[in-house]
Structure 1
Amino acid sequence: MPPRGPTPRRFSYGPDLEHNRAIPPRRRSPMERPLERPLERPWERIVVLTGAGISRESGLETFRDGDGLWSRYAIEDVCTPHAFHRDPLLVDRFYNDRRAELWRVRPNDAHLALARLEHAARAGEWDGEILIVTQNIDDLHERAGSRNVVHMHGELLRVRCTACGATPDWQENCLPQTPCPICHRPALRPDVVWFGEIPLHMERIQAALDRCDRFVSIGTSGTVYPAAGFVAQVRDHADTLDINLEAPAVPTAFERSMVGAATRMVPRWVDEVLAG
C-alpha cells in the first residue's frame, strides 16, 4: 500500500507563524476517492478587531464619545509619557478609577458570543480559529471565556516596572510610592500604551492579518492607526465585515456591514459562522 500523504497542519496564531503553514495533501485520482465521502469543511482563520463600542454596552465609559472620559480629562494630562513624568499621582489616580469601574461591569452578549465561537473550535464543533485583537484595556473578553486575545494597547489589570521591566498582574490601587513586587523599587506605571507610544504585539497581529480568511471589526471608529489600516491590509485576501452602531464612514471600506448594537449583531454573526 503506498504511503499516505502528509496531514495538513492546523493554523496557529502562536509566535512561530512562519513554521505553521498548511502542507497540502497528496491529490487523489477520481478512482481513489471514496464515492460517498462527505466534503470536508474548509479551515477558517478569523481575526476580530474590537474597540470601545463592544465594552460600552457593558457600561464602561469610552474616551471618544461626546460625554466620555475626554470631556473630563485632557489627553495630555493623563495619557502621555510626559503627563506621567509631570504628575504621576494624577495619572495613577485616573487608572485606579478605571480599574475600580472595571470591577463593576460584566461581559455582555457580544463578548460571550465571541468566546462561544472560540469554544466551538476547541470542542471540534467548528473548523476554524479566531484571534481577537482588542484596542480595549479591559479584561471583558477574558472574563467571557476567550483565550486567544491580543491587547494591542496594553492591559488595565497589569502594571509595568520601569526599573526591571516586570509586568505583573495588578488589581489594587497603584501610587507613585508603590513598590514593584519583583525588584521592590517604586517604579510602577500602568501597563497601557499611551499616545506617542508604539502599540504592542504588532508582529503577531500583522502575521495573523496576512493569513486570515475573514476580518471583522466590532465597535471601533476606525480612525486610530495602525488599527485603522487593518481592513486595507486584508482586503485582497479576506472577507471583511464591520459591526457598529453606525455604518462605516467609508462605505466601500468593508464588503459587508451590520448596523446595530454589538450585543445583538455579534451573536447573530457567530450563529452564521457556526451554521457554515
Structure 2
Amino acid sequence: MAGPYRRIVVLTGAGISKESGLDTFRDKDGLWTKVRLEDVATPGGFARNPDYVHDFHNSLRTGMAGYSPNAAHEALARLEAELAARNGGRLLVVTQNVDDLHERAGSRNVLHMHGEILKIRCENCGTVAESREAIGTATICATCTTPGYVRPHVVWFEEMPFHMAKIGVELAACDLFVSIGTSGNVYPAAGFVDEVRRHGRAHTVELNLEPSEGATLFAEARQGPATDLVPAFVEELLAAG
C-alpha cells in the first residue's frame, strides 16, 4: 500500500456499528426480518400509519443510549486528528449509519448520507433539531409551532440521500478511498468505488467481514472484524507518514 495520503474518504456501513452491538438491517437476523421496510421506512408507510413509523424510530432513538463507539470508530477519529496535525491532511467519513458513534468517538468530519436518528425534522418549515425523546403525530415543531409535521431526520427508501453533491466532490479529490462494513448492494453508496475509479487517482481498499458484492472493484480487500482490521490499517497509514 503506497502512501502517504492526504485526502482520504472513508465510507462506513452497518458492519462497523454491529460490533458495538447495534442491530443491522440486512443481515439474516436483521431488522428487515422483523418488520416490513415498506411499513416503517418509506414515505408511503408513514402516510398510511404514522404512529407505527414513529414507534419504530422512537425505539431506535431511545435505544442509542445503550451503545458505545468501538475500536474501529476510535481508530478513524485518531486518523483524522493525526492527519490534520502531521501534514494538513483531511479525512472525511461518509456513513450510511444513522447512529452517532463516529461523533462520539471523536470524528469531526462526518457526513450522514442516510440521516441521523438522534435528529428530527419539520416538514412544514424545514427545521432540523437534535432530539433524544420520543416523537409522534402530536409533536409540535419548536420553530413554527405547527403539530403533525415532525418526522425522524432519516432517509427512507424512495428518498434521496443527503449530501450527494458534496460527497461527489470529495470522491473526485481523494487519493485514498476506504469502504468499511458495507454490503455493496445499497446504492448510491455501492457505486462510490466506481466513481473513484473513474477519476483514476485514488487507491481503493475494502475492509469487510466478508467480501462485499463489489469487492472485486477495489484494488485491495481485507476480510475480518472491523475492530481488528481498522485499527491495524490506521497504524499502517500512520507508519507510512
TM-score normalised to the size of structure 1? Answer: 0.83
One-letter identity of the residue aligned with 1:167: V
Higher relative contact order, structure no. (Cα contacts within 8 Å, ≥ 6 residues apart): 2
Pick from 47, 61, 71: which aligns with 2:33? Answer: 71
Structure 2 residue 107 is the aligned partner of structure 1 residue 146: yes
Task: State the identity %.
Answer: 54
Check whether the contact 2:206–2:215 (CA below 8 A) recurs between aligned residues: no
Structure 1 moving runs of 4+ over 4 Å:
none
Pick from 200, 213, 227: which aligns with 1:249? Answer: 213
Deviations 1:152-190 (A, max 9, x none): 001101111011110111111111101111111111001
One-letter identity of the residue aligned with 1:125: R
Deviations 1:63-91 (A, max 9, x none): 10111101110011000001111111100
RMSD between aligned residues: 1.3
Name the structure 2 match of 1:47.
9
Secondary structure in 2 aligned to 1:168? strand
CA distance in 1, matches of 2:212, 2:140: 45
Check whether the contact 2:184–2:214 (CA below 8 A) recurs between aligned residues: no
Offset at 1:252?
Answer: 2.5
Within 5 Å, give how 1:120-159 maps onto structure 2: 120-122=82-84, 124-159=85-120
Structure 2 portions without partners, runs of 5+: none
CA distance in 2, matches of 1:120, 1:241: 20
Pick from 57, 69, 73: which aligns with 1:95? Answer: 57
One-letter identity of the residue aligned with 1:211: A
Name the structure 2 match of 1:161.
122
Quickly say closer, same or farther: Cα 1:195–1:271, change in 2 above 3 A. Answer: same
Within 5 Å, give how 1:218-233 maps onto structure 2: 218-233=180-195
Name the structure 2 match of 1:215.
177
Secondary structure in 1 aligned to 2:128? coil
Secondary structure in 2 aligned to 1:224? coil
Offset at 1:232?
Answer: 0.8
Check whether the contact 1:167–1:191 (CA below 8 A) recurs between aligned residues: yes
TM-score normalised to the size of structure 2? Answer: 0.94
